[in-house]
Amino acid sequence: MYNLAMQLDTIENILQVVFLIMSVVIHEVSHGYAALMLGDKTAFYAKRLTLNPIRHIDLFGSIILPLLLIISKVGFIVGWAKPVPYNPYNLSNQRWGGALVALAGPASNFLLAIIFAIFLRLNTAGLLNLPEIAIGLFSMIVLINLVLGFFNFLPIPPLDGSKIFTPLLPERYASFFENFGNYGFFASLLFILLLWKPFSYFIMLVFGLLVS
């Protein structure tokens, strides 16, 4: 019985990483398509407008960090893929183009969460008859994408939130904010280490509102 439980935990952990990789790939591809719609073909020329995960996986952000979070049993996993390149000077909207490209990433995660939450709601309402395993998998997808969406919405460089909110700041503060990007990686890790618990409570609140 113990071995069976261990095997089920292992399968669940593998699925979490697989769904995370799929979600971060869609996240990055959404950045690329947003840039393309605004006139920049950098991601297209770099062959990054593809759902092939091999072109997007970041060893630390897509695999090592999620596995560390799973091992530490924090309850959620988060990660990232290699950023899709784009040239902000090619964007048709110089003022808001960068913010729109940044917004496309978390927006794709929120959209995925909403789509799968709708399936769960329809099942709860008796309009669908999902098997138990599908309910678990769909719930996992909703949760992972909520974490990715809200985490990337944080105004910490180089997360998307910093690029979304920077155009709203006065120029002198915007420059300071952009320069802070050199320390953004460490700030992100500090957030995970120090503020993950209240962040997880917020995620679970939104999750409950979506699926029930």
Q: Residue 101, Cβ neighbours under 10 Å: how many?
A: 28
Q: Which of 120, 97, 108 is nearest to 37 (CA)?
A: 97
What SS3 string covers 98-136? HHHHHHHHHHHHHHHHHHHHHHHHHHHCCCCCCCHHHHH
Q: What percent of the chain has pLDDT over 70?
A: 87
9, pLDDT greater than 70:
no
**Taking residues 27-43, what's their average pLDDT?**
96
pLDDT per position as a tens digit, 44-71? 999 999 999 999 988 888 888 888 877 8
Residue 207 has pLDDT above 50, yes or no: yes
**pLDDT, tens only, 149-180:** 999 998 887 789 888 887 777 766 666 666 66
Give the number of other CB atoms < 10 A from CB of residue 150. 19
Q: What is the pLDDT of residue 65?
A: 83
Active site residue 28: yes
Task: Pick the catalytic residue from 28, 132, 171, 178.
Answer: 28
Lowest mean pLDDT among 36-50, 136-150, 181-195: 181-195
Mean pLDDT of 186-199: 80
Q: Region 177-205: what's the mean pLDDT?
A: 78
Please tell me what DSSP assigns to residue 169: S
